[in-house]
Structure 1
Amino acid sequence: MPDVPPGAPEVSRKRGAGSGPPPEHGPERKKACWGILTSQGSWADRSPLHEAASQGRLLALRTLLAQGYYANIVTIDHVTPLHEACLSGHVACVRALVNAGANVNAATIDGVTPLYNCCASGSVGCMELLLQNGAHTHTTHSHFPSALHEACKRGSSQCVESLLSHGADPDYDVSHLGSPLYMSCLHQHTACSKILLHRGASVNVGRGGDSPLHAAATQENADLVSLLLDYGADFSLRDGNNRRPVELAPRGGKTQQLLQEFEGSPRSLCQLCRIQIRNLIGRSRLEHLPSLPLPPLLTHYLEYS
Structure 2
Amino acid sequence: MLEVPSKNPDSTCRKRGRELSQLAQDSPERKKACWGILTSQGSWADRSPLHEAASQGRLLALRTLLTQGYHPNIVTIDHVTPLHEACLSDHVACVRSLIHAGANVNATTIDGVTPLYNCSSSGSVSCMELLLLNGAHTHTPQRHLPSALHEACKRGHRLCLELLLSHGADPDYDVSHLGSPLYMACLHQKPACSEILLRRGANVSIGRGSDSPLHVAAGVDDTQQVSLLLEYGADVNLRDDSNRRAAELATPGGKAQELLITSEASPRTLVELCRLLIRNVIGLARLQFFPLLPLPPLLTEYLQHA
Question: In structure 2, what residue type is equivalent to 1:260?
Answer: I
Q: Tell me the residue number matched to 1:234.
A: 235
CA–CA distance in 2 between the matches of 1:105 and 1:137?
A: 10
Q: Does 1:265 align with 2:280?
A: no
Change over 3 Å in CA distance of 1:109–1:16 after alignment to 2: farther
Deviation at 1:256, TM superposition (A): 0.5
Q: How does 1:109-188 map to 2 (within 5 A)?
A: 109-188=110-189
Change over 3 Å in CA distance of 1:287–1:12 after alignment to 2: same
Q: Tell me the residue number matched to 1:104.
A: 105
Is the partner of 2:218 in helix, strand or coil? helix
Q: Tell me the residue number matched to 1:8.
A: 32
Residue by residue over 1:102-157, the C-alpha shift from the partner in whole angstroms, topping out at 9 and shown as x without a partner, is 00000001100000000000100100000000000001211110000011111111
Q: Does 1:211 align with 2:235?
A: no
Say if 1:118 and 1:126, in contact at 8 Å, map to a contact too: yes
Change over 3 Å in CA distance of 1:18–1:235 after alignment to 2: farther
Question: In structure 2, what residue type is equivalent to 1:189?
Answer: K
Say if 1:119 and 1:147, in contact at 8 Å, map to a contact too: yes
Say if 1:82 and 1:102, in contact at 8 Å, map to a contact too: yes
Deviation at 1:12, TM superposition (A): 3.8
Change over 3 Å in CA distance of 1:298–1:112 after alignment to 2: same
Is the partner of 1:105 in helix, strand or coil? coil
CA–CA distance in 2 between the matches of 1:266 and 1:68?
A: 69
Is the partner of 1:271 in helix, strand or coil? helix
Q: Which runs of 5+ in 2 are unaligned?
A: 1-25
Question: In structure 1, what residue type is equivalent to 2:49?
Answer: P
Q: Tell me the residue number matched to 1:93.
A: 94
Is the partner of 2:179 in helix, strand or coil? coil
Say if 2:50 and 2:82, in contact at 8 Å, map to a contact too: yes
Deviation at 1:169, TM superposition (A): 0.3
Tell me how many residue pairs correspond in the alignment.
Answer: 281
Say if 2:29 and 2:41, in contact at 8 Å, map to a contact too: no
CA–CA distance in 2 between the matches of 1:11 and 1:176?
A: 14
CA–CA distance in 2 between the matches of 1:277 and 1:210?
A: 26
CA–CA distance in 2 between the matches of 1:213 and 1:252?
A: 17
CA–CA distance in 2 between the matches of 1:303 and 1:18?
A: 52
CA–CA distance in 2 between the matches of 1:190 and 1:130?
A: 26
Deviation at 1:171, TM superposition (A): 0.4
Change over 3 Å in CA distance of 1:141–1:20 after alignment to 2: closer
CA–CA distance in 2 between the matches of 1:3 and 1:61?
A: 22
Say if 1:16 and 1:77, in contact at 8 Å, map to a contact too: no
Q: Tell me the residue number matched to 1:247.
A: 248
CA–CA distance in 1 between the matches of 2:167 and 2:44?
A: 38
Question: In structure 1, what residue type is equivalent to 2:43?
Answer: S
Instruction: Extract structure 1 runs of 4+ deviating beyond 6 A.
Output: none
Residue by residue over 1:52-101, the C-alpha shift from the partner in whole angstroms, topping out at 9 and shown as x without a partner, is 11111111111111111000000011000000000111111111111110
Deviation at 1:4, TM superposition (A): 4.1
Q: Tell me the residue number matched to 1:74.
A: 75
Question: In structure 2, what residue type is equivalent to 1:83?
Answer: H
Residue by residue over 1:11-64, the C-alpha shift from the partner in whole angstroms, topping out at 9 and shown as x without a partner, is 44357896344xxxxxxxxxxxxxxxxxxxxxxx21110011111111111111
* TM-score of the pair, normalised by structure 1: 0.89
Q: Tell me the residue number matched to 2:43.
A: 19
CA–CA distance in 1 between the matches of 2:162 and 2:150?
A: 12
Q: Percent identity?
A: 69
Question: In structure 2, what residue type is equivalent to 1:183?
Answer: M
Q: Tell me the residue number matched to 1:54.
A: 55
Q: Tell me the residue number matched to 1:297.
A: 298
Q: Tell me the residue number matched to 1:35.
A: none
CA–CA distance in 1 between the matches of 2:252 and 2:40?
A: 48
* TM-score of the pair, normalised by structure 2: 0.89
Q: Which runs of 5+ in 1 are unaligned?
A: 22-44
